[in-house]
A and B are shown apart, each in its own frame.
Chain A
């Protein structure tokens, strides 16, 4: 069963705009990871945030984590057509343990 929900399910934006997606989960976690998936195949790891962290940055990506609300957000700044993909959050209850995925957000960046 899935750990939580992602919101929105789909997002359509113009190139250059920012894209924000949210992830909520149900139980306590050790870490939360964000992945990108193109064309329904392999998942590309984007960023990991630990439960004792509140914010992380990687290039054009910014992730926040609010453990009191059991939620995380992923912001992609200055989006590009190549950012078109599905984005998934995944949580783990302990380091190295299995990931439980959200339902994903489909992002379309129009040129």
Chain B
């Protein structure tokens, strides 16, 4: 079946603009995770959804970052007033812990460049 998909694959934006990143999880996966990977910080957790609720938002670096998930499926990560330090690869993953699938399967990522 189809894996996790993310769009866009690349995004270049000017400092101060807002961006939206999209994640389509594997069908039937109830859990969805956002991570980011940057040179200086490695792989960092951002937020986790179980269904449409987010029991763990502890990794969001500032209030400029927000995420939502609708219909227990697609998720959007929004970064407002982007800064250069937001440049990174944003990765989405999904799993189905309720069915015993606790492995997290990752999408190809969105490379965000803030100029």
Smallest CB-CB separation from B6: which chain A residue?
A42
- A90 contact set on B, CB distance < 8 A: 43, 104
A101 to B41, CA, bound (A): 11
- B48 contact set on A, CB distance < 8 A: 97-98
Say which one of B15-23, B67-75, B79-87, B95-103 lies at the interface with A.
B95-103
Known contacts A92-B102, A98-B59, A101-B43; decide if A40 and B91 are in contact (CB<8 Å).
Answer: no
- B45 contact set on A, CB distance < 8 A: 98-100
Interface residues on A, range: 20 to 34
* A99 with B108: CB separation less than 8 A: no
The proximity string for B residues 23-62 relative to A, scoring 1 for CB distances below 8 Å and 0 otherwise, is 0000000010101010000111100101000001001000
- Give, as a whole number of angstroms, the nearest-CB distance from B52 to chain A: 16
Q: Check A105 for interface membership: any CB of B closer than 8 A.
A: no
Q: Check A81 for interface membership: any CB of B closer than 8 A.
A: no
Smallest CB-CB separation from B92: which chain A residue?
A42
User: Which A residues lie at the B interface, using CB under 8 A?
Assistant: 2, 31, 33, 35, 40-45, 48, 88, 90, 92, 95-101, 103-104
